[in-house]
Structure 1
């Protein structure tokens, strides 16, 4: 299965990683590892995580207040957002194309 990141999701990931790295040396790397772990978990079991809106699923990050929001299909895992949990709930839906 191929992982595809929406441009907005990639931007969220890069900005969050830079912010954490600015707070403590190596923390940005730890955030990136948590993001990788969330994506890997979604790939292992795409339909086994919490179903949220319509056809979307989520995986919570470990140690960070972030959620991976994705849309699985037979051949692709579309990452819609690396969503900070203190943002307005559901604001990621604006970019989901639904």
Structure 2
């Protein structure tokens, strides 16, 4: 099974969104977390299926939530560079791309 590595900023975006949704409605944060986990599983199962944005980055649009998972396919893992809100600051994550795929 291919592993998935989240950029630290992407992990922070994910946790912030979970908290935000849970504060709005009890259980909604949990549903968001589940949607992201399902999306990551789908990406791992077939990473080339989803839209190429700017090489090497691809995008998976989450159903029912205004977020997309931006990732690259690395030789040994999937690198999630952003969990991006689809209505805010398009392309902001590109400044992170210089460090993509590098493990700490």
So what's the TM-score if we normalise by structure 1? 0.96
Equivalent-residue separation in structure 1 for 2:25 and 2:78 (angstroms): 31
State how 1:77-88 maps to structure 2 within 5 Å: 77-88=78-89
Structure 1: gaps of 5 or more residues: none
Partner of 1:37: 38
Provide the residue aligned with 2:102 in structure 1: none
Coordinate RMSD, CA, aligned:
1.0
Secondary structure at the aligned position of 1:20 is classed as helix
Residues 1:4 and 2:34 are matched in the alignment:
no
- Number of aligned residue pairs: 98
The equivalent residue for 1:61 is: 62
Q: What 5-or-longer segments of structure 2 have no aligned partner? A: 100-104
Partner of 1:96: 97
Deviations 1:53-74 (A, max 9, x none): 1111010101100000001123
In 1, Cα distance between the equivalents of 2:58 and 2:3?
16
Q: Supply the distance in 1 between the matched residues of 2:18 and 2:24 (Cα, whole angstroms).
A: 10
